[in-house]
Amino acid sequence: MSAYHVPDSTGLIKLDAMENPYPWPDGMEEDWLDYLRGVPLNRYPDPSATSLKNCLRGSLEAAGDNEILLGNGSDELIQIIQLGAVGRDGVIVAPVPSFVMYEMTARFVGAKFVGVPLSPDFAIDEDAMLRAIRDHRPSVVFLAYPNNPTGNLFDRGAIGRIINETKGLVVVDEAYHAFAGTSFVDELAGYDNLIVMRTLSKLGLAGLRLGYVIGPAELLDEFEKVRMPYNISALTQRTAEFALGRLDVFEHQASRIVAERDRVYAHLDALEGIAPYPSKTNFILFRSNRLDAPALYDRLVEHGILVKGFGDHGSGLDHCLRVTVGTRRENDVFMAALAAILSGR
């Protein structure tokens, strides 16, 4: 195994990590600092984060009979789910390529990971998924909706049939729900083995490291048994409450990102030698048909731009790079640099 690698972005336009590129508007940071005054840093935080959960229910329409479980980003939630539902010698099933932490965490907990290849256009292979579920009887199936790193939405009907076929738990990971325009939260009442996982990172709060799971209380109560106590700091809880009270700011930023995503996609689609894949996220996966992808990655770095490369990742990604949607200026610099590189400049 190797550690999760985060490249140094010093001096580069950072378009590799699916972050919201926009700062908070004028005055909001000062209001936030005032809001933090009085947080008792000499005391442990609320272990249940009750106030924050209530804000999430109200702001993100996650109410009803569902419970909420909080984690230090989606990564910790994936670990909690696998520790609570799988244990050693259990089986995790997920399409590949998808979020790398599904497989990495399976290794951490001693579970077996079964990756089911997507079709050449990165659509879910429903027949192959159903075969894997019948053959391996997984404790947990992870489905990223939209998928990372491909950016596409899997067919909803196929997901429903996968949930019905699975005897264990199905986790629909909606990390990019702010850009997708669709969700499975409204489907929770129709299944007894479905939970939905989200994060505030892509919305514009990556520095908080706050993720959450929505699902039936009887399921989430079991995962609470393996959650580390006080895993959400007092400052994170308070800051998230402040931000959720101003959700319109982040929703407006998300709409700007979607508009820029569509503009960048159209530009990439017009470039000879570049084949972008449709995206419902804040990033675009594209295939380099003229230059070797690692070489193109290096040339972009020379131009001061950091994107995501996949090296020998496989799973159809060998000739691909992934670019996060930045500000209009950052996107213009990226597109100009890419065009110059392809033209031999």
Same fold, 13-18+248-342 and 41-245: no
Model confidence pLDDT, tens digit, residues 159-204: 999 999 999 999 999 999 999 999 999 999 899 999 999 999 998 9
Domain boundaries of the chain, sorted by first residue: 13-18+248-342, 41-245
What's the helix, strand, coil split of the chain in %, to 5?
A: 45, 15, 40
Nearby residues of 53 by Cβ (< 8 Å), 6 or more positions away: 68, 70
CATH 3.90.1150.10 correct for 13-18+248-342: yes
- pLDDT confidence tier of residue 1, bands split at 50, 70 and 90: low
Residue 306, strand partner residues: 14
Q: Which CATH number describes the domain made up of 41-245?
A: 3.40.640.10
Mean pLDDT over 139-168 rounds to: 97
Please report the pLDDT score of residue 86 as a whole number: 86
Residue 267's pLDDT is 97
Tell me how far apart the alpha carbons of residues 100 and 148 are, in angstroms, rounded to a whole number.
9
Under a CB-based contact definition with an 8 Å cutoff, are residues 275 and 286 in contact?
yes
